[in-house]
Amino acid sequence: MKKSDFPALPGRPLGNLINNHPLANLAQELIIRGFSKRTIKSYLSHNQRFLDFVGKSAREVSSQDIKNYLLYLKSQNYSNTSLNSVISALKFYYSQLLHRKLFFVIKRPKKEKFLPMVLSKLEIVKIINSSSNLKHKTLMSLLYGSGLRVSEVVKIKISHLDLATKSLLVKDGKGNKDRYTLLSGQSIKLLEIYLKKLPSAQIYLLAGMSSPHLSQRSAQKIFDKALDKSGIKKEATCHSLRHSFATHLLEQGVDIRHIQKLLGHQSIKTTEKYTQVARDFWQGIKSPLD
Strand partners, 173: 177
Active site (annotated) includes residue 149 = yes
Q: Catalytic pick from 137, 213, 243, 265? A: 265
114-118, 201-205, 210-214: which has the minimum mean pLDDT? 114-118
Higher pLDDT pick, 111 / 13: 111
> What domains, with CATH codes, occur in the chain?
3-97 (1.10.150.130), 121-280 (1.10.443.10)
* Helices 134-145, 216-230: inter-axial angle, 10-degree rounding: 100
Name which residue leads in pLDDT, 206 or 280. Answer: 206
149: left (phi over 0), alpha (psi -120 to 50) or beta: beta
Rounded to whole angstroms, the Cα distance separating 75 from 84 reads 15
Q: What is the pLDDT of residue 21?
A: 60
Assess whether 194 carries a catalytic annotation: no
Is 174 one of the annotated active-site residues of the chain?
yes
Q: From CA 128, how far away is CA 136, in angstroms rounded?
A: 8
269 in catalytic set: no
Model confidence over 230-257: pLDDT tens digits? 999 999 999 999 999 999 999 998 999 9
Residue 172 has pLDDT above 90, yes or no: no
Active-site residue, from 149, 155, 213, 248: 149
Per-residue DSSP letters for 47-105?
A: HHHHHHHHTS-TTT--HHHHHHHHHHHHHTT--HHHHHHHHHHHHIIIIIIS-----TT
Whether the per-residue pLDDT at 3 is higher than 60: the answer is no
Model pTM score: 0.79
Determine which one of 174, 225, 234, 273 is catalytic: 174
Q: How far apart are CA 135 and CA 125, in angstroms?
A: 16
pLDDT band at 112 (very low <50, low <70, confident <90, very high): confident
List, in sequence order, every residue forming a beta bridge with 179; answer none if it has no partner. Answer: 170
Length of the chain measured in residues = 290
Burial annotation 164-187 (CB, 10 A radius, 16+ → b, else e): eeeebebeebbeeeebebbbbeeb
CB 24 within 8 A of CB 8: no
Among 46, 242, 243, 248, the one annotated catalytic:
242
Residue-wise pLDDT for 25-58, tens only, equals 999 999 999 888 888 999 999 999 999 999 999 9
Please compute, for residue 186, the number of CA atoms within 13 A of its CA located in the half-sphere on the CB side. Answer: 15
